[in-house]
Structure 1
Amino acid sequence: MGAFVILLSLAAIASLILSPIMAIIALARAGALRGEIEALKHAFARREISTETPSPSPSVSERPPARPPTPEPESAVAPVPAMAPAPAPAPLPEPASPPPMPAPRFASAAEQPAARRPPRDTAKIEEKLGTRLAVWLGAIALALAAVFLVKYAFDNNLLTPTTRVTLGALFGAALLVAGEWLRPKVDRIAQGLSASGVAALYASVVAAVSVYHLIGQTLGFVFVILITAAAVLLSLRQGMIVALVGLAGGFVMPALLRTDVPKPAALFSYLLLLEVGLIAVTFARKWWALSAATLVASMVWAIVWIAGMHAGTFPTEHGLWVGLFLILSATAFVITERTQRRDDIRARFGIPGFFSWAAMGSGLILAAFLTGTAQYSWREWTFLWILSAGCLVLGRFDPSKEGLAGLAALLGAALLAIWRGEGLAANDELRFGMVALAFGLLFAGGGYACLWGSTRPLAWAVISSVAALLYSLVAYCAIERLPSPLSWGIVSVCVAALSIAGAFPLGRRRARLGSGPLAAYAVAATTFISLAVPLELDREWITVAWALEVAALAWLGSRLALPAMRILAGILAAAVGIRLLLNPAVLTYPIGELVLVNWLLYGYGIPIIALTWAAHIFRKTKDDGLVHGLEGLAIALGFVLLALQVRQYFHPADIGASTCSLAEWGSFAIAWMGYGIVLSACACRVPRPSLRYGGLIAAGLGLIEALLLPCLAQNPLWSRHPVGELPVVNMLLYVYGVPGLLALVFARQLARAGCRTHAAYAAVASIVMFFILLSLQVRQAFHGAVLTGPTPSNAEWYAYSAAWIVFGFALLLVGILSRSMTARYASLAVMLVAIAKVFLFDTRELRDLYRVFSFLGLGVSLFLLAFLYQRFVFRRKEPCAPQ
């Protein structure tokens, strides 16, 4: 019974092998016969063309019209050239007699194929479905047939394990032989058979090693190498299907033939050889899909091993083999690209270059992950450094790969920052500094070396200068507390000196290299110089250094004629403005307790001078938006400086305090209005829009602050602010009198400048403040320092009326003497307020002689007012100049 089963199984296998082979042979023979018939038809058609073409070609007008029922010779042979695969031979000399009429059956035979030919796109789709897809599915079906046959024999215990494995191997070998035998006849079917054979051999090895344990893992691995090599070699003769099956089996089989103890050296050596072989096949046959699959499969193995190291499955010592594999894999792709034929049409579209770019980029990223997984050891950092150096070399000789150098520089700096964020051990600081130094020298020095003779020197100059700055800052933030014989400020100055030394040769070759590289190193030098001061001092000096760098950029831009300096200066000036205008941390800086000579004077005064000087330098070249922006920023910093100095005066060393006195509110108004008046005065001598508008805004804000806060919100009548015990000479005179005088000066400036409407507003605001000052002084005379006392007495109410009337007459006299219509109108307004008070309030509230004197004084004042208007105002003929 067992022998019968064995014979039956052999017969089944033979039928599986022979049946498709016989069908394929029959198909091949039928195809050959059809080809011979078509060749005979084409030969006969060419002969017809050569014998029926007339030698003398009559003119078009002399030819008789063609009769539709009878086919002409041209119509009989017209479709034939479209069918002919080769050009027709030269025609023989024609006789003078007219050509004979061809038989109608040949004409119809030639016309019918052309008329019934399907569209071109439909033919392509049908070809792919009928030839390629069928071959692929057939190969998969044969491979599955072998797998299911072995499974059936295993489930039913029909054959011994040795017999099962042997039959599977024989089946695979038979398919390989059949595929090679059919290759000259039907190549795609041959590819399918060979691919099925390779899959059957892989399955036999898996069954022999992992299922039945007939052979050892080492011997099984040797068989896998031989099968994979055979598949790769056969793919060169047959096609990509065999190579894809070999790729899949070659990369999957190590996972199926795993050993008890991981052997990364043998595994990654095998994977590297497999990868190199597949890459060679790819670039030899231009199978770019195979190259992509090879790259992905290789990187997947590296990812799996790195993930295993991170999870603790594999020891960190395996990082040696993973790192070497990443370096050699990327090198294999790069070398293959460099040695492939340059006249290949695919190379013009960048397909090989893309794979080398992807190989180097993925190698860099995986090397960075490997370094972090291995606890940032020296070995893994070395692997990443080697790949980074390779990116520099590759980018220098191939401009399309310059981006890899920038990617490597950013990746190294990011990895150092992550290491710093995770926390450095006591013995890691020195290693951190050495690694940062190695990478900084690589990209700063390597970038500088690569710019010479390159097609894009600016890109290399940017990489070099930015890398120097980036790695210096990373190293400083991580190991600033490490004992060192040199301070970081000296290190910064030394790096700046190196940048300047590197810029001198670029300046001498500026005509050939352009201004970009010189600008990059000039910016780097000024950056390091400006950072030297804050690196040595507290961090609140960084903004001061940035402002100084703006001035340095302006000077360099003017001396070297570098337009790029304007853009960089604008960006840096914006950073200065953000840190000094919108940074609440300024309130927490250690300013000191001195009133004027403190950090505010330096922290804001130096940027104001630097920005003003930079605007002056830039204006010599071009008076554009950058110049106006620098001037406006300097003016805004001066405005904020005055406000902070006021806070420092009232709250020494605590400018962030939440309280604010009446005197402080008045000081804000005085400082801002005085600042605006000074700017407006400067604008009269130096006609700059920034000075004119800056003065208008600063004085206007001071005026608004005085009206809204001391006059309304913080008025001592209801805010309980003490104003002093002395009459007249007290806090009220400072808070309301000084801003009122400054408002008058500002109104006079505006009137001289021709801004009469704004001047009138400022004058009215001044009069309002003087009126409030007078009223509060009356209140202070009766109640002392605190004005929120009891209800006014009769004497106090009378004093208000008398004071207002006197103030109205004073305004009238000022208006008459200065011919100011605004003062006269204000006088009338004050007198109307006094009249309303006397008639509406004093009549009801005042008693005895106070009421008598109130009406008496008002009557006399009104007569005197009328006299002054008739005598000095309306008698004049000339119009009064408004103010």
Structure 2
Amino acid sequence: MDDIGIGTLILVALATPVLAIAGFIIALVQRSEVRRLTAQVRVLDARIAALKAPPAPAVAEPAPPAPVQEAKPSEKPAPDATAKPQPVPSAAKAKSGLEEALGARVAVWIGGLALMLGGIFLVRYSIDQGLFGPAARVVAGMLFALLLLAAGEWLRRNERTSRVGGIPAAHVPGVLTAAGTTTAFATVYAAYALYGFLPPALAFIVLALVATGTMLAAALHGPMLAGLGLIAATALPALVSTDEPSAWGLFTHLVFVSASAFGVARIRSWQWLMVAASSASFAWAAVYVAAAGDAGSAPALAAFTAAFLALVGLYHATAPLRDEDAARIDWASNAVAAAFGLLAIAVAVIEDHRTASLVLMVLLIAGELALAIWRRRLALLLPAAAITGALAIFTFNLASWLLTDPTTAFPFPGEAAALPSRIGSLLSLSAILGGMIGGVGLALAWRQPEQPLWITGARAGGAVAAPLAVLAVTYWKVAAFTPDLRFAAVAIAVAGGFAFLTERFARREAAYAMLAAATAATATGTVAAIGLALATSLREGFLTVSLAVLAAGIAWVHGSRRIAALPILAMTVGVVVLLRTGLDPLMVSQGIGTTPIFNGLLWAYGLPAAAFATTAWLFGRQGQSRATGLFEGLALLYASLLFAFQIRHFSTGGDLRSASASLGEVGLQVMTGCLIAVAAQRLSLSRPGSVLRVGSMALGALSMAGGLFGLLLAVNPMFTRDSIGNGLIFNELIPGYLLPALAAGALSLHSHGRRPKWYVLAAGVLAGLLVFALISLEVRAAYHRPILSVGTMSAGESYAYSVVWLVYGVLILIAGALTGLRELRLGSAAVITLTVLKVFLFDMNGLEGVLRALSFMGLGLALVGIGLLYQRLLFPPRAPVPE
């Protein structure tokens, strides 16, 4: 008989005692339910009898009033059934609270601990004094344990439940029972570890029975025993060692312990106990697989996983029906079943993905799905199964197969490819998992449309995620992210199926509103499948462009089918494109050509910009303000990137990744940024609060920062050894300073009255500084071109600076007078003040002869003229006021 047959028989044998325990638990639960229902029936019978009782006979004449008698002091008034119980005075509570807590609870706990330690110290004393032999010590320990257990049981049967001052008294029988089980466990362990009376196998069984019995006793004695028994039971495999560790022995022990814990958890409604037992068992399984897992332990691990999934099912089978009717999420049970579902992957991994192990893995995942079908509170197991399926495909190692396995042809039409012989197993597994999980989830969502929204969403979401995730991971493993039209064809087929289901679910929303979750899930799956098809067939910029066009397509579909999820999906696609660009903005740097303007940048950035603008326009017409704003921002961003990279391409001859930047390039970048900011600002005027408003301001601020720190500092030819060309006027200073100055001035003028004052002033100041740098550098170029940073300044050059600065200041003043802009007049004052300081501080010492005289004469005439301008045009004298 093969391993699978043996494993199946062992699984049946293992399930028999588990089912017996489950039957005992079910009987207890049903008995309590019968008692509760019987009490309710009695109450209802009493109410019905009261309603059927004949009314009291009417009195013909009123009886004379009874004589009033004084109540005797010994008489007590009859209690009022409707009166509320009087609260205990706070002073009395404060007086008795500490005393009751210490006397009724803490003292009992400390007493129980003292009993445990007393037993241990007695054994220790007997050992130190040599009073008894090893056998007598073991017998004495067991007698003391039995005495404590008997005392605990006697007290339990004769106890009276008491509550003192609202605080429950400590459970004395439970404390004594805990002391007894602890003493028994320690005694058995001493007989094994210290004296060697018990072989490992027998010691393990006896200790397991003590620990499990302790946990079962918790159903009668309280949660302390449950925790104590669970700790002892889960620590047992580490206490009892053997030279030949057995997976079957370990997993059988963990299943029995967990079954006991699950039963007690159900009887006493202690979900924490179920979670704790599951966590401990899962941790042991993970440690075993990591440390000693081999091919021989796969059947045991599969049986262990199946048993735990069955335990979760039995735990819910014994739950009251009202819990299921409430349809609340049982987070703990979902987490436990999902965690053990992951162990199914380990079954295949330790068997190196052999066919038999893959079958076991699929069956275990099917068991996880069965729980999700059976109980609505376990609906989250559907998306958990989707994650498990994707991880299962991820664990395949095709590289090792290529080295060890024979290969077979798996060709695309017109080509030949060599792939491992087990590639069929991988592809078949992908199809089975994707189809099984997806089919189950969608069938449940379709057949049970009246379920709560979260249940329908979990089912449909898991069903959609499974085939997409499995297909994506399979493509990764087989094609290693290289374009493969076969996977693209499969993705398109999946997208078509999801699109069909989206339409069907949308039509049923009028009758079943909860199906909106399924419609959203399938619509998301349609878009994701199309994106996956693009990702498997395109690369780099092609993928980005295709996703941008996909967003426009979603907006167009939303115009005719108002599915609520579509705008969110379109925005998600937009964010994905943005993230893709952020990871590598120069993703199309190779193969775009060297032709200016008409190159690959037009489709790489121009087409996404146009697609996003179209998407914003479509969503704007549909009243989708959030989506409109996002795509307006994306359109502005990609239009800016298009111009920026086109300038970069033109300046570097097509080398977008060049590390250097010239003066002309930076100047054109600043100019373009300012002009795009102006254009976006104009577009935003018709829509207050538009994203374009914020985007235009951000782009303008970024451009101004580039002009200030880039043009005036980083690439300033006075600080570099870069050539500006041999032309006196037409050189690199024109695109480097004049053009960005004009653009910054346009930004300032257009922002006046529409943007914050600081923004308008900053743009104007930048324009003035760039013009000032231009005229100064042109003077420098007249003497030292083409390298401006080389050479000393002559007297004539120094005098030329004074002249052009003074003329510039006067021109700014005239412009301010004509336009009425006070900012221009202030700028003029700053330039003229700088010129005056230069003449008096530098020209006086630096110039000699006629140049010094001409410098002061020119400055004097200019200042006099400026004064007349202010007197006649700006501030004319006022007419005298008649007396």
TM-score for both structures, normalised by structure 1: 0.65
| Mapping for residues 331-342 of structure 1, pairs under 5 Å | 331=310, 334-335=313-314, 337-338=316-317, 342=321
Question: Cα 1:832–1:433, aligned 2, differ >3 Å: closer, same or farther?
Answer: same
Counterparts of 1:347 and 1:512 in 2: how far apart (Å)? 24
Give the aligned partner of residue 443 of structure 1: 437
Greater Cα offset, 245-254 or 850-859:
245-254
Q: What is the CA RMSD across the aligned residues, in angstroms? A: 6.5
User: Deviation at 1:789?
Assistant: 3.9
Counterparts of 1:328 and 1:868 in 2: how far apart (Å)? 99
Question: Cα 1:785–1:505, aligned 2, differ >3 Å: closer, same or farther?
Answer: same
Contact 1:502–1:521 at 8 Å: present in 2 too?
yes
**Which whole-Å deviations, capped at 9, do the CAs of 1:482-514 have from their partners, x for residues lacking one?**
999953222222221121122222122122343
Give the aligned partner of residue 87 of structure 1: none
Give the aligned partner of residue 383 of structure 1: 360
Counterparts of 1:250 and 1:770 in 2: how far apart (Å)? 85
**Which whole-Å deviations, capped at 9, do the CAs of 1:267-312 have from their partners, x for residues lacking one?**
97899799889988997xx4667x9989987997887677556544
Counterparts of 1:488 and 1:417 in 2: how far apart (Å)? 17
Greater Cα offset, 410-419 or 831-840:
831-840
Is residue 646 of structure 1 aligned with residue 625 of structure 2? no
Give the aligned partner of residue 497 of structure 2: 498
Give the aligned partner of residue 380 of structure 2: 403
Contact 2:475–2:481 at 8 Å: present in 1 too?
no
Is residue 364 of structure 1 aligned with residue 341 of structure 2? yes
**Which whole-Å deviations, capped at 9, do the CAs of 1:182-220 have from their partners, x for residues lacking one?**
99999999xx99x999x99xx99x999x99999999xx9
Give the aligned partner of residue 480 of structure 1: 479
Contact 2:386–2:469 at 8 Å: present in 1 too?
no
Counterparts of 2:235 and 2:817 in 1: how far apart (Å)? 106
Question: Cα 1:248–1:350, aligned 2, differ >3 Å: closer, same or farther?
Answer: farther
Question: Cα 1:281–1:570, aligned 2, differ >3 Å: closer, same or farther?
Answer: closer
Question: Cα 1:390–1:484, aligned 2, differ >3 Å: closer, same or farther?
Answer: farther
Question: Cα 1:847–1:563, aligned 2, differ >3 Å: closer, same or farther?
Answer: same
Counterparts of 1:766 and 1:857 in 2: how far apart (Å)? 26
Secondary structure of 2:511's counterpart equals helix
Contact 2:305–2:344 at 8 Å: present in 1 too?
yes
**Which whole-Å deviations, capped at 9, do the CAs of 1:301-352 have from their partners, x for residues lacking one?**
887677556544x752332243134314532552574367748xx9999999
User: Deviation at 1:358?
Assistant: 7.2
Identity of aligned residues (%): 24
Say which one has the larger Rg: 1
Contact 2:588–2:600 at 8 Å: present in 1 too?
no
Counterparts of 1:354 and 1:566 in 2: how far apart (Å)? 31
User: Deviation at 1:728?
Assistant: 1.5
- 1:320 maps to a residue whose letter is P
Is residue 413 of structure 1 aligned with residue 390 of structure 2? yes
Give the aligned partner of residue 5 of structure 1: none
Greater Cα offset, 392-401 or 301-310:
301-310
Give the aligned partner of residue 54 of structure 1: none
- 1:62 maps to a residue whose letter is P
Is residue 62 of structure 1 aligned with residue 67 of structure 2? yes
Contact 2:636–2:695 at 8 Å: present in 1 too?
yes
Give the aligned partner of residue 109 of structure 1: none
Give the aligned partner of residue 507 of structure 1: 506
Secondary structure of 1:733's counterpart equals helix
**Which whole-Å deviations, capped at 9, do the CAs of 1:688-745 have from their partners, x for residues lacking one?**
7444554454345434533443334543234333222122222223322222333444
- 1:499 maps to a residue whose letter is F
Give the aligned partner of residue 324 of structure 1: 303
Give the aligned partner of residue 371 of structure 2: 394
- 1:452 maps to a residue whose letter is W
Question: Cα 1:617–1:590, aligned 2, differ >3 Å: closer, same or farther?
Answer: same
Question: Cα 1:349–1:355, aligned 2, differ >3 Å: closer, same or farther?
Answer: farther
Contact 2:506–2:563 at 8 Å: present in 1 too?
no
Question: Cα 1:688–1:608, aligned 2, differ >3 Å: closer, same or farther?
Answer: farther
Secondary structure of 2:447's counterpart equals coil
Give the aligned partner of residue 675 of structure 1: 676
Q: Count residues in correspondence.
A: 759
Question: Cα 1:340–1:185, aligned 2, differ >3 Å: closer, same or farther?
Answer: same
Give the aligned partner of residue 560 of structure 2: 559
Greater Cα offset, 501-510 or 843-852:
843-852
Indicate the structure whose relative CO is greater, using CA pairs within 8 Å and at least 6 residues apart.
2
Question: Cα 1:352–1:240, aligned 2, differ >3 Å: closer, same or farther?
Answer: farther
User: Deviation at 1:402?
Assistant: 1.0
Counterparts of 1:216 and 1:750 in 2: how far apart (Å)? 87
Question: Cα 1:341–1:60, aligned 2, differ >3 Å: closer, same or farther?
Answer: farther
Give the aligned partner of residue 711 of structure 2: 710
Contact 1:306–1:373 at 8 Å: present in 2 too?
no
- 2:633 maps to a residue whose letter is G
Counterparts of 1:558 and 1:398 in 2: how far apart (Å)? 39
User: Deviation at 1:520?
Assistant: 1.4
TM-score for both structures, normalised by structure 2: 0.65
Give the aligned partner of residue 621 of structure 2: 620
Question: Cα 1:588–1:155, aligned 2, differ >3 Å: closer, same or farther?
Answer: farther
Counterparts of 1:776 and 1:525 in 2: how far apart (Å)? 60
**Which whole-Å deviations, capped at 9, do the CAs of 1:508-529 have from their partners, x for residues lacking one?**
2122343221121112111221
Question: Cα 1:61–1:518, aligned 2, differ >3 Å: closer, same or farther?
Answer: same
Counterparts of 1:803 and 1:447 in 2: how far apart (Å)? 80
Question: Cα 1:710–1:322, aligned 2, differ >3 Å: closer, same or farther?
Answer: closer
User: Deviation at 1:400?
Assistant: 0.7
Q: Which runs of 5 or more structure 2 residues have no equivalent in the other structure?
A: 1-62, 82-95, 161-171, 404-419
